[in-house]
Amino acid sequence: MSMLPTDLEISVERALAEDIGSGDLSAALIAPKLELHAHILSREPGILCGRPYADAVFRQCSPEIRCHWLVAEGTEFAADTVLCTLEGPAGPLLTAERTALNFLQLLSGTASRVRQHVQLLQGLPARLLDTRKTLPGLRLAQKYAVRIGGGHNHRLGLFDGILIKENHIAAMGGIGPALRAARALVPVLTRIEIEVENLEQLEEALAHRPDMILLDNFALADLRRAVERVGGRIPLEASGNLGLNNLREVAATGVDYLSVGSLTRDVQSLDLSLRYDG
C-alpha cells in the first residue's frame, strides 16, 4: 500500500533496547518451554496501522512467535475488534508485548486521525499534507501512518526540499534575496517553496517564480483572493491552525494543499491491549 520506512528495523531494534535494557526480569520468571496463545484487541474504533512494525518486534524477540492478522493494514475496524492472534514462547512474546502495542497504538491513532481529516475533503481537489512536527526518532513511522490514513507527505526533512519561512526571510533580508539564493544553491529539480503572510508578500514572491507558495494564517477572503491572483500557475498551500473544525471551509477556497501539524504533533494513541487466551 505504502512504501515501508527505510528505518523500520532499526526503529524497532532501538525501541526494544530502550525497553529491555540488560534483560527482561519479568519474563525470566516464566518457564522457557511455556507456549502462549493470545490476541490483540482494540477497545475503540479506528484505522489499523503498524502491522509491519509489530511483526518486526515479534520477529526480533523470537522467530518462533506466530502472528495471524485478522484486519488488513489501512482497514477501518469497530470497537472490540480482535486485530490478530498470537502464539509462541511465552517469555519472548510477553517481552515484545509493550513495544508492539506502542507502535500499533501510535501509528493506528495517527492514521485514524488523518482519515478523519481526509474524509472532510471528499469532493474537493485539495490534498492533505503532514509537517515536520513529529516525535523525535519516529518521523518516518509517523509519515508512513499519514500515508496509510490517506494523507500525503510534505518534506521528510530539511534535506529533500527548500521551505523558506519567515525567519529565513528575515535572516536573508527579504523574499527576493532568499529566493535568488535558493535558486543558486540547489539543482533545478529541487522544490523551492516560500511562506508568505499577506497578499503583498504573495505579490513579491510571484515575481521570483517559486515552485510552491505557503499561505500562512490567511483569512478565508484573502485565501480566495490569492487563489484568484495565482490562477493555478503555482501550487498554493494553506497552513496555520487548521483542524477538523475548519478544514473543509479552507479547502473550498481553492487552495491545492492543506498542511496540518496536529496530525503528527498531537499524539492520540488508540486503546489496544494484548490478552492471554489460556
Active site residue 133: yes
Catalytic residue among 55, 193, 216, 237: 216
Active site residue 143: no
Active site residue 216: yes
Residues making up the chain, counted from first to last: 278
Catalytic residue among 193, 195, 237, 256: 195
User: E strands, 90-184, where?
Assistant: 127-129, 162-164
Catalytic residue among 133, 155, 183, 225: 133
Name residue 72's amino acid.
A
Report d(CA 15, CA 94) in Å as an integer: 15
Report d(CA 169, CA 194) in Å as an integer: 9
Of all helices (H) and strands (E), which one includes residue 18?
Answer: helix 8-20
Of all helices (H) and strands (E), which one includes residue 275?
Answer: strand 272-276
SS3 112: helix
SS3 246: coil
Catalytic residue among 14, 165, 180, 229: 165
Catalytic residue among 98, 155, 225, 248: 98
What are the residues whose beta carbons fall under 8 Å from the beta carbon of 86, sequence distance 6 or more?
36, 37, 38, 39, 40, 58, 65, 66, 67, 68, 93, 274
The percent helix, strand, coil of the chain (3-state, each to 5) is 40, 20, 40
Active site residues: 98, 133, 165, 195, 216
